[in-house]
């Protein structure tokens, strides 16, 4: 599964979904995660409701992890078939929490 992470620096989950101009993609094979690539999103800091730009950028992903997502964007994420996770901290810690929870729920 592909996991998209909203991060400004590639080290921390620190961006709101609708303003995420930087997305880091990881692959999770059921056992381990591996960094795949970095994607930029053309976000205008003065514009509201740009979550569709972010969603288009991660349309091939299965999960999005960001600090927070707005009411409208949550519906759009769900409609697109992605799992939405709100979390923050280092990418390493956030991915570990998600993977641990995923494995626990699978058993």
pLDDT, tens digit (0-9, with 9 covering 90-100), for 60-82 = 999 999 999 999 999 999 999 99
Could you identify the residue written with the tokens 């288009």? 56
pTM: 0.94
Q: Which of 13, 8, 2 is nearest to 93 (CA)?
A: 13
pLDDT-derived band of residue 106, with 50, 70 and 90 as boundaries?
A: confident
**CATH number (domain holding residue 40):** 3.30.420.130
- The number of folded domains in the chain is 1
pLDDT of residue 46: 83
- 92 lies in which domain range? 2-106
6-53 per-position pLDDT tens digit: 999 999 999 999 999 999 999 999 989 999 999 999 988 788 778 999
DSSP assigned state of 46: T
């Amino acid at each position: 599964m592909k996991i998209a992470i909203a991060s400004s620096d590639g080290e921390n989950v620190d961006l709101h979904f609708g303003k995420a101009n930087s997305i880091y993609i990881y692959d999770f094979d059921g056992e381990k995660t591996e960094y795949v690539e970095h994607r930029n999103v053309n976000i205008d800091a003065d514009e509201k409701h740009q979550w569709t730009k972010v969603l288009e950028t991660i349309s091939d992903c299965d999960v999005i992890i960001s600090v927070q997502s707005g009411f409208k964007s949550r519906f759009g994420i769900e409609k697109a078939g992605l799992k939405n996770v709100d979390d923050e901290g280092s990418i390493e810690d956030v991915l570990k929490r998600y993977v641990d929870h995923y494995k626990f729920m699978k058993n």
